[in-house]
């Protein structure tokens, strides 16, 4: 029996009239201790899928089970790193982490909890910023606080929603290694969402593509049968790695080609229309020279 | 530095000078009963220069009167906050509570202090000597409560879903969600409400003291009106305005400290 399972899950947003189905018939079975990476386009519904796994939103249809029991709601056993960090702005870095630590380890002593929080703050290299508030931090630093807060909870399932997307390449590589290390040590079940197939293959046992939305669904799994620990440099020369990367990219491109996405956006025309001097002018300005900025809506079909 | 002084000192002083001039002209031309600025100063000097003197129940230094008024306002305002803040939280948290009580709140909100005060006096008729104070407190509290109630409710509804998600994922208890997430996230809104409430509480005090005849700036104003001492009315108006202004500034200072957080 799978440890964490989604069965024919679908989810739509919006009121009856303008309802759009984001996820349709999503099936996913994750074994205990497995590391699954989900890759997909922006806006496909990855965060929605993650929120369902975390229990923050309920699917419209289908079932979510954890250890065979229907999931009733969110909890600290499923540690979620939010895509938008979700740090509490009135708490410092250390206090944000402490809030989670205090909640999850109430039986530990004050000193133990402080040490535990410090350990994870140091792990993401934020010791110098421990007494800063989130608004004093860069985007990448906030993301690291969010990672530290979740890892400090020592969850059974680690749900990572694009946890490294705002980081520079060096820090990113660093934290990727850190995630791989923690995973090897703690043997948690991990679901990682990413837009980077390389990252997915580097870290995961299995990569599952999410097709382009709307009505996104999970595609066939790509098993990453490369031995752990994986070395980033060596991997680049591995034919198996290259083939996986090609296959996954190919699958995602194909899924997008099957639909014609349209983008509707408001265009504000710049204020550069020349005055037409041939139009007679009146003081009331009825026949105005076109001078003001105008907003126009345009729908563009994107065929890739 | 020069421009700074000009903007913040010279220009307001010019503004005051213009108003005093108009006052002078008015009292010389169309409003003969209006005392001139000079006469007002002469008649008020004693109250301003010995601001804490007590010569009789209704003949005291202006700051002494102000002090009495401030104490009454502080009490009424405290009741307003203690009652209003939780009501605001309930309105923000519960749709059913909002549907039940919002209509009645919207009806009570615009009722003037002059209408509440007699009811307050009737309510506390049994309290004997205390009736006028309790009635005044009731009026101040019920009139100044609404900005706190409304702003707190808006603030609670505006708490970002992200913060609530954090609380959910951590499985914070209801109490911890309230103290660790909801209250800190709502504080800026609450303080806006507190500031507006204080403004109203200070407005109401004058009406309350006038009708109850309690010693204070408002009571003094009413007494001097009846005694035809118009100079003192102007003194009271200026005092009420300046005190209100200072209270508002102080509250904005507190408020802005929470805005940045
Ligand atoms: N609360 C909501 N109400 C209405 N629509 C929503 C809501 N949340 C998401 N959506 C819509 O659902 C779709 C999927 O959103 P989601 O956030 O899951 O995408 P994503 O795959 O995480 O994108 P990204 O990679 O950019 O984070 C989007 O089209 C979005 O507009
Ligand atoms: Mg997302």
Residue A302 in this model has a pLDDT that exceeds 60: no
Nearest Cα to Cα of residue A26 among A73, A61, A67: A61
**Distance from Cα A11 to the centre of ligand 1, integer Å:** 11
Distance (Å, whole) CA A186 – CA B99: 50
pLDDT digits (tens, 9 = 90+) for A100-140: 999 999 999 999 999 999 999 998 889 999 999 999 998 88
Partner-chain residue, chosen from A74, A88, A89, that has the shortest CB–CB distance to B168: A74
pLDDT given at position B86: 95
- Distances A129 to A49, A94, A134, A205 between C-alpha atoms, Å: 32, 9, 10, 34
pLDDT digits (tens, 9 = 90+) for A62-113: 999 988 888 888 888 888 998 888 899 999 999 999 999 999 999 999 999 9
Lowest mean pLDDT among A139-153, A267-281, B52-66: A267-281
Indicate the pLDDT class of residue A288, thresholds 50, 70 and 90. Answer: very low
Do residues A182 and A280 share a domain? no
pLDDT (average), residues A21-32: 91
pLDDT given at position B229: 83
Residue nearest to atom 1 of ligand 1 (CA): A13
Q: Which ligand has an atom closest to residue A41 CA?
A: 1
Nearest Cα to Cα of residue B239 among B106, B9, B92, B44: B44
Indicate the pLDDT class of residue A169, thresholds 50, 70 and 90. Answer: confident
Could you tell me if B164 lies within 8 Å of chain A, comparing CB atoms? no
What residues of chain A lie within 8 A of the CB of B158, using their CB?
Answer: none
pLDDT given at position A291: 44
Mutate to test the interface with A, among B169, B174, B259 (most CBs of A within 10 A): B169
pLDDT given at position B210: 83
Range picked from A255-259, A298-302, B188-192 for highest mean pLDDT: B188-192
Do residues A87 and A125 share a domain? yes
Could you tell me if B162 lies within 8 Å of chain A, comparing CB atoms? yes
Q: Domain boundaries in chain B?
A: 67-259
Q: Which of residues 136-195 of A touch B (CB under 8 A)?
A: 153
Count how many domains chain A has: 2
**Distance from Cα A66 to the centre of ligand 2, integer Å:** 22
Q: What is the CATH number of the domain that holds A107?
A: 3.40.50.300
Do residues A174 and A139 share a domain? yes
pLDDT given at position B130: 82
Lowest mean pLDDT among A3-12, A289-298, B63-72, B251-260: A289-298
Residue A207 distance to chain B (closest CA, Å): 25
Angle at the Cα of B200 (from B198 to B203), degrees rounded to 5?
115
- Of all atoms in ligand 1, which is nearest to the CA of residue A49? 18
Q: Where are the beta strands (DSSP E) in chain B?
A: 54-56, 59-60
Q: Where are the beta strands (DSSP E) in B84-235?
A: none
**Distance from Cα A43 to the centre of ligand 2, integer Å:** 7
Residue nearest to atom 7 of ligand 1 (CA): A13
Q: Which of residues 194-253 of A touch B (CB under 8 A)?
A: none
**Helix (H/G/I), strand (E/B), else coil: B256:** helix
Nearest Cα to Cα of residue A99 among A77, A76, A82, A122: A76
pLDDT (average), residues B143-172: 93
Residue nearest to atom 4 of ligand 1 (CA): A13
Do residues A183 and A164 share a domain? yes
pLDDT given at position A304: 42
| Token pair belonging to A23 | 């996820």
Residue B158 in this model has a pLDDT that exceeds 50: yes
CB contact under 8 Å between B171 and A103, yes or no, is yes
CB contact under 8 Å between A86 and B163, yes or no, is yes
Mean pLDDT of chain A: 83
Domain enclosing residue A279, as ranges: 261-302
CB atoms within 10 A of CB A118: 17
Do residues A292 and A247 share a domain? no
Ligand 1 cavity residues, CB under 6 Å: A 13-14, 22, 40, 42-48, 83
- Mutational test site, ligand 1, from A44, A54, A265, max ligand atoms within 8 Å of CB: A44
Residue B106 in this model has a pLDDT that exceeds 80: yes
**Chain A residue with the nearest C-alpha to that of B172:** A103
pLDDT digits (tens, 9 = 90+) for A181-240: 888 887 889 999 998 888 999 999 999 999 886 788 888 888 888 887 888 888 888 888
What residues of chain B lie within 8 A of the CB of A56, using their CB?
Answer: 165, 168-169
Do residues A232 and A155 share a domain? yes
Q: Which ligand has an atom closest to residue A45 CA?
A: 1
Partner-chain residue, chosen from A75, A86, A153, that has the shortest CB–CB distance to B165: A86
Residue nearest to atom 14 of ligand 1 (CA): A45
Domain B67-259, CATH among 1.10.3720.10, 3.40.50.300, 3.30.420.270, 3.40.50.620: 1.10.3720.10
Q: Which of residues 41-60 of A touch B (CB under 8 A)?
A: 54, 56
Do residues A223 and A274 share a domain? no
Range picked from A160-169, B129-138, B183-192 for highest mean pLDDT: B183-192
pLDDT given at position B96: 95
pLDDT given at position A275: 54
Residue nearest to atom 10 of ligand 1 (CA): A13
CB contact under 8 Å between A89 and B261, yes or no, is yes
pLDDT (average), residues A136-150: 88
**Distance from Cα A13 to the centre of ligand 1, integer Å:** 9
CB contact under 8 Å between A75 and B166, yes or no, is no
pLDDT digits (tens, 9 = 90+) for B45-83: 877 777 777 777 777 788 888 898 999 999 999 999 999
Could you tell me if B28 lies within 8 Å of chain A, comparing CB atoms? no
- Cis amide linkage into residue A229, ω under 30° from 0: yes
Distance (Å, whole) CA A125 – CA A177: 14
- Distances B97 to A108, B63, B81, B108 between C-alpha atoms, Å: 40, 44, 19, 16
């Amino acid at each position: 029996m799978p440890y964490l399972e989604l069965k024919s899950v679908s989810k739509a947003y919006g009121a009856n009239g303008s309802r759009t189905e984001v996820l349709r018939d999503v099936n996913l079975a994750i074994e205990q201790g497995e590391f699954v990476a989900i890759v997909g386009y922006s806006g496909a519904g990855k965060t929605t899928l993650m929120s369902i796994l975390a229990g923050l939103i309920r699917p419209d249809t289908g079932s979510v089970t954890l250890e065979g029991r229907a999931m009733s709601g969110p909890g600290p056993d499923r540690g979620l790193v939010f895509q938008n960090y979700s740090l509490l702005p009135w708490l410092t870095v250390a206090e944000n982490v402490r809030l989670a630590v205090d909640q999850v380890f109430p039986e530990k002593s004050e000193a133990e909890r402080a040490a535990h929080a410090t350990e994870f703050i140091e792990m993401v290299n934020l010791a110098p910023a421990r007494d800063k508030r989130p608004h004093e931090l860069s985007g990448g630093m906030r993301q690291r606080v969010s990672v530290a807060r979740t890892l400090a909870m020592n969850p059974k399932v680690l749900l990572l929603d694009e946890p490294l997307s705002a980081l520079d390449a060096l820090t990113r590589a660093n934290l990727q290694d850190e995630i791989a290390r923690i995973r090897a040590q703690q043997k948690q079940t991990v679901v990682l969402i990413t837009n980077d197939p390389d990252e997915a293959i580097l870290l995961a046992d299995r990569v599952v593509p999410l097709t382009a939305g709307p009505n996104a669904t999970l595609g066939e799994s790509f098993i990453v049968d490369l031995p752990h620990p994986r070395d980033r440099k060596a991997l680049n020369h591995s034919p198996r790695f290259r083939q996986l990367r090609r296959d996954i990219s190919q699958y995602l491109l194909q899924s997008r080609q099957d639909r014609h996405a349209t983008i509707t956006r408001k265009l504000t025309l710049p204020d550069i229309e020349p005055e037409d001097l041939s139009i007679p002018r009146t003081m009331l300005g009825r026949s105005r020279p076109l001078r003001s900025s105008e907003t126009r809506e345009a729908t563009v079909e994107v065929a890739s | 530095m020069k421009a700074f002084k000009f903007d913040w000192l010279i220009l307001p002083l010019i503004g005051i000078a213009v108003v005093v001039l108009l006052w002078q002209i008015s009292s010389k031309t169309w409003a003969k009963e209006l005392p001139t600025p000079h006469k007002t100063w002469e008649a008020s000097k004693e109250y301003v220069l010995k601001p804490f003197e007590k010569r009789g129940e209704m003949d005291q230094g202006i700051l002494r009167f102000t002090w009495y008024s401030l104490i009454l306002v502080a009490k009424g305002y405290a009741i307003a906050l203690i009652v209003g803040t939780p009501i605001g939280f309930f309105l923000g948290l519960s749709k059913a509570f909002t549907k039940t009580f919002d209509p009645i709140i919207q009806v009570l909100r615009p009722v003037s202090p002059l209408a509440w005060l007699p009811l307050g006096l009737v309510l506390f008729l049994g309290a004997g000597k205390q009736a006028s104070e309790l009635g005044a407190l009731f009026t101040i509290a019920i009139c100044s409560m609404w900005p706190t109630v409304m702003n707190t409710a808006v603030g609670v509804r505006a708490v970002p879903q992200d913060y609530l998600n954090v609380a959910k994922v951590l499985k914070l208890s209801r109490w911890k969600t309230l103290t660790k997430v909801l209250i800190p996230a709502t504080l800026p809104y609450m303080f806006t409400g507190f500031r507006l409430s204080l403004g109203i509480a200070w407005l109401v005090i004058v009406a309350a003291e006038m009708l109850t005849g309690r010693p204070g700036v408002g009571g003094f104003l009413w007494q001097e009106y009846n005694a035809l001492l118009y100079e003192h009315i102007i003194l009271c108006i200026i005092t009420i305005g300046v005190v209100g202004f200072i209270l508002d500034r102080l509250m904005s200072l507190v408020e802005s400290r929470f805005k940045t957080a």
